[in-house]
Amino acid sequence: MVTLVVTKGLGSMDLYAEKLAEKLDVPKAYTDIYQRIAERFNTSWFSPGALRAIREDWHFLRMLNRLDGIIHLPNQHLGRYGLFLKVPYIITVHDLIRYFDLKGYSTFIHQPNLRDRFYLSRDYRGVKKATRVIAVSQATKHDLVQHLGVPEERISVVYEGIDHGLFQPTPRRLVDYPYLLFVGSEHPRKNFAGLLKGFSKLKSQGGFKDLKLVKVGRAGRPEAEFRKHTLQVINELGLSNEIVFADYVAREDLPAYYSGAECFILPSFCEGFGFPPLEAMACGCPVIVSNVASLPEIVGEAAIKVNPHDTDGIASALRMVLTDKHLKRELVSKGLEQAAQFSWEKTARETLKVYEGVERSLSTKYAPAGVIERPRPLLKAVILVGGEGMRLRPLTYGMPKSMMPVLNRPFLEHTIAYLKDYGVKNIILALSHLPEVFQNYFGDGSNSGVQLNYAAEDKPLGTAGAVKNAERYLGSTFVVLNGDIFTDLDIADMLAFHRGKGAKVTIALTWVDNPCAFGVVETDSDGRVRHFIEKPSPARVTTNWINAGIYLLEPEVLEHVPTNARYMFEKGLFPLLLELGEPVYGYPFSGYWLDMGMPGKYLCLNCDLLLSKAKSALIEGLSRDEVCCDKDVIIHPSAEIVGPAVIGSKCRIDQKTYIKGPVVIGPDCCIGESASIEVAVLWRGVNIGAGVSLKQCILGANTKIKDNSQVINRVVTSGHTRVVQIKDTYSW
């Protein structure tokens, strides 16, 4: 288990922690300690708050050491606490700028004082000690290896994201004149002075009389001397009337600044990631950045890149964007595509992969000799319960098939218990037909010991489309189950297979005698899927291994699924992935598997559970002749019941009745005198008249059978007069 430390504040590193907390379903520990660290910068050992700071540090460290499992520290300045942690920890490094200041590599700012040098050195020692380091860019990873000596294999690169709900083109305007935009501090590493010089050269060339340079970003206490230097440069260049300081701007106003700008420019000397260029791109603004540090990898081919030391080059790039309309349109188009690749959802998914990797490595490291630990089961599952159950009608008029009672409990409740047994406690129900039935019964899932989320469809979206609709809840590898499948498949073993193969998709395969009614899956000797044949004719059958309707997927495959459109796994996504050469594998298993999507199979499932041919995590199996009665059941002494049988609460069984299992009788049923019942499932409130004979039947809720009737191999419901013969009768 990983606990994420969430820092509070207004900085980009606080934003990172906040967004991960929002997207990751893991334990969290909230603190304002990082904000307090920032407030202490440039203070002395003997300042009035020094003793208070020591107490705060001590309390925070005690809090961390009380946490179970692995801790994720969300920025490098919490490394000082990592040195004293008694548990493994992950740390995210956003940049090494303060390290460069500490070592004198940077001439951009004064050397830290003695106190800050002490703490900063501990920060980076804490980084080196971490079990795993997350770098927010390849450039930051390179710095970690080159300057801190962190082994490359201990570093994972996980890019940060942007908020696409906020950063998008908007017609709203806060500035009524043409302007260039710079967003950031006036720290010398941002090279705002270089931009001013390039802007001055552009203006001196003529043609841009009304053009201004708008600078957005704080000018608080730490930047006081930076502003002084900035104003000095502005005065020297004669730009006093050309520069507009917007200073602090609320985040919700930033899209208007980006959208209205002629161009955004960030000619930094040093960046660990670089949010503003991506935010500008997402708002449809052309972008110019420097060709150093992380910026080239972040902007890709969607921006103009300049040498930050070349002010003539900066001026030339600005002129190109301002005068070449075709180039500007191209930059806007490419920028929108580039920005779309960075999202907090993707950051969360990749971070979860890091968590799982650390958990696996630690479980192997500390396992007893000769013991190979299985990987930790999946964090989330999607159950597809949106189908209308047409093949099960009339039972599914007003009743979703996944809510049909199996041993007097909803079928879905058995599936949830099965997943819970494998540690899967975060479950998403993909809903379409009668969603309120699920929500009213399960609520948030707490009564079942799990956390449930609901992804309801406005229209049927198909199997893959339904999972795409639930994408907002998904992070790392997840399992998908069709909502009418009952199985004892070992999910942990399937997960180990999936990871061992490096698969993007793993499809559970089960053997059937007649595969023509299913989707046949052909694999090679290594298990890699080569062909799909959906419901083949007998002449086309090449294997008896079929798609079992249970899948492990990596979340990135959902990028191939259209949004809000009907799309299937079987005929759409999986064949497409094969065409693209993606690793799709089949996992054959020989355990119990049944698709209860037809009346005969539904009856068969109830019988198999009663006879212990199948096992439910929800209900213990019965012995061959056992009769299990719920509370307040009345059975006449002359009635004969041969198990296995389950009888629901408040049932009444009259004299001379004969019941031979496997039989399930729901709550509130009344069985009349001399009735005979064999191999049947009766739902709640069924009333059986005197002398009735039932065999291999399913009776829907509140059904009434008249005296002396004979019902064999049939489904009968009360709300509809339709009677359906069961095609697949149960046999031993």
pLDDT over threshold 90, residue 276:
yes
| 695 contacts 679 by C-beta, under 8 angstroms | yes
**Annotation marks residue 535 as catalytic:** yes
Q: For the chain, how far is it from start to end, CA to CA, in angstroms?
A: 46
pLDDT over threshold 50, residue 667:
yes
User: Is 610 inside any structural domain?
Assistant: no
Q: What is the pLDDT of residues 309-345, one digit of tens each?
A: 999 999 999 999 999 999 999 999 999 999 999 999 9
Same domain? For 36 and 136 the reply is yes
| 548 contacts 509 by C-beta, under 8 angstroms | yes
Tokens standing for residue 455? 């992804």
pLDDT at 233: 94
Mean pLDDT, residues 690-706 taken together: 94
| 286 contacts 258 by C-beta, under 8 angstroms | no
- Between 33 and 1, the more confident residue is 1
Same domain? For 571 and 691 the reply is no
Of the listed 535, 571, 615, 631, which one is catalytic? 535
User: Is 273 inside any structural domain?
Assistant: yes
pLDDT over threshold 70, residue 39:
no
Angle between helices 435-442 and 411-421 (to 10 degrees): 60
Tokens standing for residue 196? 């001013």
pLDDT at 731: 44
- Between 362 and 521, the more confident residue is 521
* Burial zone of 332 (CB within 10 Å; 0-12 exposed, 13-18 middle, 19+ buried): middle
Tokens standing for residue 387? 């189908």
Q: What is the pLDDT of residues 178-219, one digit of tens each?
A: 999 999 988 888 999 999 999 999 999 888 989 999 999 876
Number of H-type helices and E-type strands within the chain: 21, 39
pLDDT over threshold 90, residue 1:
no
pLDDT at 689: 96
Q: Which residue is associated with the tokens 């199948």? A: 614
Same domain? For 643 and 531 the reply is no
Q: Give 659's Cβ-side CA count (13 Å radius).
A: 32
| 648 contacts 701 by C-beta, under 8 angstroms | no
| 268 contacts 191 by C-beta, under 8 angstroms | yes
What's the CATH code of the domain at 674? Answer: 2.160.10.10
**pTM higher than 0.75, yes or no?**
no
Mean pLDDT, residues 382-391 taken together: 92
Same domain? For 237 and 126 the reply is no
Same domain? For 520 and 589 the reply is yes
Same domain? For 183 and 103 the reply is no
Q: For residue 591, give the amino acid letter.
A: G
Tokens standing for residue 681? 């499932």
Question: Confidence band (pLDDT; 50, 70, 90) for 35?
Answer: low
Point out which residues pair with 715 in neighbouring strands.
698, 724
User: Is 638 inside any structural domain?
Assistant: yes
**Domain coverage including residue 582:** 380-595
pLDDT at 112: 63
In 10 A of CB 58, how many CB atoms?
11
How far is 530 from 509, CA to CA, in rounded Å? 14
Question: Confidence band (pLDDT; 50, 70, 90) for 36?
Answer: low
Q: How many domains does the chain have?
A: 4
pLDDT at 719: 67
Same domain? For 400 and 546 the reply is yes
pLDDT at 730: 45
Mean pLDDT, residues 521-527 taken together: 88
* Burial zone of 469 (CB within 10 Å; 0-12 exposed, 13-18 middle, 19+ buried): buried
Q: Specify the DSSP class assigned to residue 436.
A: H
- Between 691 and 86, the more confident residue is 691
What's the CATH code of the domain at 527? Answer: 3.90.550.10
Q: Specify the DSSP class assigned to residue 97.
A: H
Share of the chain above pLDDT 70, in %: 89
Same domain? For 661 and 576 the reply is no
Burial pattern 390-414, b for ≥16 Cβ within 10 A else e, equals ebbbbbbeebbbbbbbbbbebbbbb
pLDDT at 693: 96
Q: What are phi and psi of 698, to 5 degrees?
A: -125, 125
Measured torsion, CA atoms of residues 498, 543, 401, 441, in degrees rounded to the nearest 10 = -10
| 685 contacts 717 by C-beta, under 8 angstroms | no
Same domain? For 147 and 191 the reply is no
pLDDT over threshold 60, residue 38:
no
Same domain? For 324 and 464 the reply is no
| 270 contacts 293 by C-beta, under 8 angstroms | yes
Same domain? For 183 and 312 the reply is yes
Please, what is the average pLDDT of the chain?
Answer: 87
Same domain? For 386 and 451 the reply is yes
Mean pLDDT, residues 612-617 taken together: 88
pLDDT over threshold 70, residue 477:
yes
Q: What is the pLDDT of residues 414-448, one digit of tens each?
A: 999 999 988 888 999 999 989 999 999 999 998 99
How far is 536 from 512, CA to CA, in rounded Å? 13
Measured torsion, CA atoms of residues 713, 716, 721, 722, in degrees rounded to the nearest 10 = -50
Q: What are phi and psi of 367, to 5 degrees?
A: -70, 150
Tokens standing for residue 717? 């419901």
Q: What is the pLDDT of residues 562-599, one digit of tens each?
A: 999 999 998 899 999 999 999 999 999 888 999 998 99
Q: Which string of DSSP letters, residue by residue, matches 211-222?
A: -EEEEES---GG
pLDDT at 290: 96
pLDDT at 106: 56
HEC string for 564-627: CCCCCHHHHHHHHHHHCCCCEEEEECCCCEEECCCHHHHHHHHHHHHCCCCCCCCCCCCCCCCE
Mean pLDDT, residues 229-235 taken together: 92
Q: Which residue is associated with the tokens 């799709």? A: 584
User: Is 328 inside any structural domain?
Assistant: yes
What's the CATH code of the domain at 92? Answer: 3.40.50.2000
In 10 A of CB 17, how many CB atoms?
26
Mean pLDDT, residues 659-683 taken together: 96
Question: Confidence band (pLDDT; 50, 70, 90) for 662?
Answer: very high
Q: What is the pLDDT of residues 119-178, one digit of tens each?
A: 778 888 999 999 999 999 999 999 999 988 999 999 999 999 999 999 999 999 999 999
Q: Specify the DSSP class assigned to residue 200.
A: H
Q: What are phi and psi of 700, to 5 degrees?
A: -70, 170
Mean pLDDT, residues 17-23 taken together: 91
Strands 485-487 and 593-595: antiparallel
Tokens standing for residue 688? 């059986």
User: Is 76 inside any structural domain?
Assistant: yes
Question: Confidence band (pLDDT; 50, 70, 90) for 529?
Answer: very high
Mean pLDDT, residues 372-394 taken together: 76
Mean pLDDT, residues 446-465 taken together: 92
Share of the chain above pLDDT 90, in %: 60
Please report, for residues 58, 283, 337, 343, 582, the alpha-carbon distance to residue 164 in angstroms, rounded to integers and kept in the order given.
39, 9, 12, 7, 28
Tokens standing for residue 334? 């490419």
Point out which residues pair with 71 in neighbouring strands.
3, 89
Q: What is the pLDDT of residues 483-520, one digit of tens each?
A: 999 999 999 889 988 988 899 999 999 988 777 777 78
Helix (H) / strand (E) containing 401: none
How far is 377 from 698, CA to CA, in rounded Å? 37
